[in-house]
Amino acid sequence: MSLLIIGGTGTLGRQIVLQALTKGYQVRCMVRNFRKASFLKEWGVELVYGDLLRPETIPPCLKGITAVIDASTSRINESQSLKKVDWIGKLRLIEAAEAASIKRFIFFSTQNAGQFENVPLIKLKYGIEIKLKRSTVPYTVFRLTGFYQGLIEQYAIPILENLPIWVTNESTNISYMDTQDIAKFCLRSLQIPQTTNQVFFLGGLKGWVSSEIISLCEQLAGQEANVQQIPLVSLKFISKFFGFFEWGQNVSDRLTFAEILNSQDSLSESTFDLYKTFKMAPTEIIQLDDYFLEYFIRLLKRLRDINFEDVQKQKNLII
Ligand SMILES: NC(=O)c1ccc[n+]([C@@H]2O[C@H](COP(=O)([O-])OP(=O)(O)OC[C@H]3O[C@@H](n4cnc5c(N)ncnc54)[C@H](OP(=O)(O)O)[C@@H]3O)[C@@H](O)[C@H]2O)c1
């Protein structure tokens, strides 16, 4: 089976690429910058130029492809391209997939898609889900929550650098997941015919509130966090009027995230069915505590090495 992966340079995409190669799939990635994607070529991927903003570049990428895995999304720093990439680009991609008789199209949506008309990305994601359902392409949609990887920037780094962590007064329970596990589900769906034309809510087994994540990081870092509590209502006000401050982007991102995830989704019951469908044992899933533990061990070792190198350099200077 030959795969076209879009977004292979991204956080989730690169995990899918790595696992697909390990499983022996032929992997092609549609990339818009060969230099940036050179690591994928080193892994053994075929790179083809393509840009969702340039529809004429899409059909050549699909030649000889069995399944498309779309892990792309507009980059935060290219915010004007949100509608162009996550809507227009994806519509052209689905049309091209129909024309190329693609056997499976995997799309990553977000939790609670269909409920937040006021959040542009969520609205576009839901729109694409509908387009896929109406298309002739066999699809699988995964509605995702947050990634473990995003928590490093959100909690671990601010604690280590003594920067403020903004939390709301809401105790939102979020079942974050490691992108390595999302990649496992994604590739497994290609082998399970019952997952065709289905939408799955994909979440980890445990829900976490921000205070739990903060105390976990505090323990591992051996440092206290600088937590700034702010009511959700004030956060809305602040993000609207002070969005141009350095921390404005962070605050408004967090607000959107808190709003979207604040409504409880049907996690518990459906999660167990989901793991059964995908023949995935809960023990196979990477737990957040283990993920953070590994991160801090690696980081602290790196800091010790740097410290050791500095001491050696200073000794050499003295000699
Ligand atoms: N991150 C989360 O917590 C989260 C939560 C729910 C759902 N999701 C969904 O999961 C998927 C993967 O997210 P992610 O965080 O891994 O994404 P990411 O790290 O931001 O990567 C985005 C990818 O899309 C590519 N891309 C951007 N614009 C493109 C264009 N015009 N044409 C072709 N490719 C383009 C980027 O390529 P370049 O390297 O060239 O920029 C990159 O490979 C997305 O669908 C996202 O919406 C993510």
* Domain CATH code at residue 170: 3.90.25.10
Band of residue 78 on the pLDDT scale cut at 50, 70, 90? confident
pLDDT exceeding 70 applies to what percent of the chain?
85
pLDDT value, residue 131: 98
Residue of 209 and 29 predicted with greater confidence: 29
Please indicate, yes or no, whether residues 155 and 257 belong to a single structural domain of this protein: yes
Domain that holds residue 84: 2-144
Residue 193 inside a domain? The answer is no
Please indicate, yes or no, whether residues 83 and 138 belong to a single structural domain of this protein: yes
pLDDT value, residue 94: 98
pLDDT value, residue 73: 94
Please indicate, yes or no, whether residues 160 and 238 belong to a single structural domain of this protein: yes
Please indicate, yes or no, whether residues 131 and 153 belong to a single structural domain of this protein: no
pLDDT value, residue 263: 44
- Which amino acids bring their CB within 6 angstroms of ligand 1? 6-7, 9-13, 32-33, 36, 51-53, 71-75, 85, 89, 108, 110, 144, 146-147, 150
Band of residue 264 on the pLDDT scale cut at 50, 70, 90? very low
Residue 225 inside a domain? The answer is yes
7 alpha carbon to ligand 1 midpoint, in Å?
A: 6
pLDDT value, residue 77: 75
Please indicate, yes or no, whether residues 26 and 171 belong to a single structural domain of this protein: no
Residue of 166 and 55 predicted with greater confidence: 55
Please indicate, yes or no, whether residues 171 and 240 belong to a single structural domain of this protein: yes
Please indicate, yes or no, whether residues 135 and 73 belong to a single structural domain of this protein: yes
The 10s digit of each residue's pLDDT in 182-241 is: 999 999 999 999 999 999 999 888 889 999 999 999 999 999 999 988 776 666 655 554
Instruction: Provide the whole-model pTM.
Output: 0.88
pLDDT value, residue 309: 72
Residue 198 inside a domain? The answer is no
Evaluate if residue 278 carries a pLDDT over 50.
yes
Please indicate, yes or no, whether residues 240 and 122 belong to a single structural domain of this protein: no
Residue 192 inside a domain? The answer is no
Residue 197 inside a domain? The answer is no
Please indicate, yes or no, whether residues 161 and 252 belong to a single structural domain of this protein: yes
**Which of 123, 144, 165 is a domain's end point?**
144
Structural domain count of the chain? 2
Please indicate, yes or no, whether residues 170 and 292 belong to a single structural domain of this protein: yes
Residue 47 inside a domain? The answer is yes
Residue of 309 and 102 predicted with greater confidence: 102
pLDDT value, residue 306: 77
Average pLDDT over residues 289-314: 82
Residue 114 inside a domain? The answer is yes
15 alpha carbon to ligand 1 midpoint, in Å?
A: 12
User: In this predicted structure, which of 36-40, 233-237, 274-278, 291-295 has the lowest mean pLDDT?
Assistant: 233-237
Please indicate, yes or no, whether residues 224 and 134 belong to a single structural domain of this protein: no
Average pLDDT over residues 276-292: 92
51 alpha carbon to ligand 1 midpoint, in Å?
A: 13
Band of residue 247 on the pLDDT scale cut at 50, 70, 90? very low
d(CA 104, CA 259): 32
d(CA 152, CA 156): 5
pLDDT value, residue 242: 45
Evaluate if residue 88 carries a pLDDT over 90.
yes
Q: What is the CATH number of the domain that holds 94?
A: 3.40.50.720
Please indicate, yes or no, whether residues 15 and 152 belong to a single structural domain of this protein: no
Evaluate if residue 42 carries a pLDDT over 60.
yes
**Which of 120, 144, 168 is a domain's end point?**
144
Residue 271 inside a domain? The answer is no
